[in-house]
């Protein structure tokens, strides 16, 4: 086995324990001052327990303060955060929690700011619809790219929070996102949960005009095995929904190990 190219020294451990290895799109962020790790764990666990989509942010340095990424910030979640702040301040009176919105504005989480915060939250343009689809399976593509089950198992969660495209247009609004992604052993495929509020995309899906999807990303390493190129340390960074009347470059690997998969049939799975 001959390594073709290594593009980074990122550990596979980062992909496994941190689904938001790179910043997810449309996240809000909780930051903390005068805090301990226990304070941050408290907020993370209490928010998760109440079904809030929250994850740890990757720290840039060992000494950097830990932050939490939250998707879908709402007035209800803001009120929950304020309640948690009041609860935690009983043990740590000096604790300060700040909320950064997706537009970059930062507010301290207190009662005085709740009105200003809620007024800056985006509103959906249409109905928000959740989909579950079957995605990439272990395959050898026509370009001889080999995706093996072990690597898909490790990399599936890197799709969480990444952009969704309809053909060549990114669904940029706040409520379009990949909410969950994991490898399903029984189906031997990556199963992806999508949340979409873009009216055009939902209409096309309803009419059956979205016929496939593909994934783009980057690999840490490529190993040539016989005639195939096995990708390792895979990091997915976008999902593309494709209509039948649109053609886009697929199934390739660049010299920098950026890849795109073949078109995968668009199959909705009942939840």
Q: Give the tens place of pLDDT for each residue, 6-35.
A: 444 444 344 333 444 344 556 788 999 998
> Helix or strand or coil: residue 148?
coil
Residues of the chain scoring pLDDT < 70: 1-26, 58-65, 173-174, 270-271
The residue segments making up the domain with residue 64 are 25-119
Classify residue 4: in a domain, yes or no: no
Same domain flag for 114 and 203: no
Q: Is residue 78 part of a domain?
A: yes
Q: Given this model, what pLDDT does residue 125 score?
A: 76
Phi then psi dihedrals of residue 172, to 5 deg:
-85, -15
Both 177 and 233 in a single domain? yes
* pLDDT number for residue 104: 79
Domain shared by 206 and 171, yes or no? yes
- Structural domain ending residue among the three candidates 119, 139, 161: 119
Tokens found for residue 62: 């060992």
| pTM check: above 0.85 | no
pLDDT value, residue 47: 92
Asked if 200 and 138 sit in the same domain, the reply is yes
CA distance 203 to 198: 9
- Note whether 105 and 173 are same-domain residues: no
| 190 DSSP β-pair partners | 183
Among 119, 150, 173, residue at a domain's last position: 119
Q: How many structural domains compose the chain?
A: 2
CA-nearest of 133, 153, 137 to 195 is 133
Last residue of a domain, one of 119, 142, 167: 119
Q: Which CA distances in Å does 137 have to 98, 113, 188?
A: 41, 47, 6
């Amino acid at each position: 086995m001959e390594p073709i190219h290594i593009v980074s020294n990122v550990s596979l451990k980062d992909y496994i324990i941190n689904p938001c290895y790179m910043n997810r799109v449309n996240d809000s962020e909780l930051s903390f001052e005068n805090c301990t790790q226990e304070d941050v764990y408290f907020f993370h666990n209490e928010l998760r327990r109440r079904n809030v989509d929250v994850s740890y942010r990757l720290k840039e340095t060992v000494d950097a303060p830990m932050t939490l990424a939250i998707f879908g910030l709402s007035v209800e979640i803001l009120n929950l955060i304020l309640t948690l702040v009041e609860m935690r301040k009983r043990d740590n009176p000096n604790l300060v929690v700040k909320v950064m919105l997706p537009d970059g504005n930062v507010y301290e989480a207190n009662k005085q700011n709740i009105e200003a915060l809620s007024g800056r939250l985006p509103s959906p343009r249409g109905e928000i619809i959740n989909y579950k689809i079957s995605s990439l399976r272990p395959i050898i593509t026509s370009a001889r790219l080999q995706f093996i089950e072990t690597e898909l198992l490790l990399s599936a969660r890197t799709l969480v929070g990444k952009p969704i495209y309809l053909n060549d247009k990114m669904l940029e609004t706040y409520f379009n996102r990949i909410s969950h992604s994991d490898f399903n052993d029984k189906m031997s495929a990556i199963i992806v949960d999508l949340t979409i509020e873009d009216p055009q995309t939902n209409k096309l899906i309803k009419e059956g005009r979205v016929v496939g999807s593909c994934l783009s990303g980057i690999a840490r390493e490529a190993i040539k095995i016989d005639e195939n190129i096995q990708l390792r340390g895979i990091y997915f960074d976008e999902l593309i929904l494709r209509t039948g009347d649109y053609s886009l470059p697929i199934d390739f690997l660049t010299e920098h190990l950026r890849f795109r998969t073949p078109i995968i049939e668009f199959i909705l799975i009942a939840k």
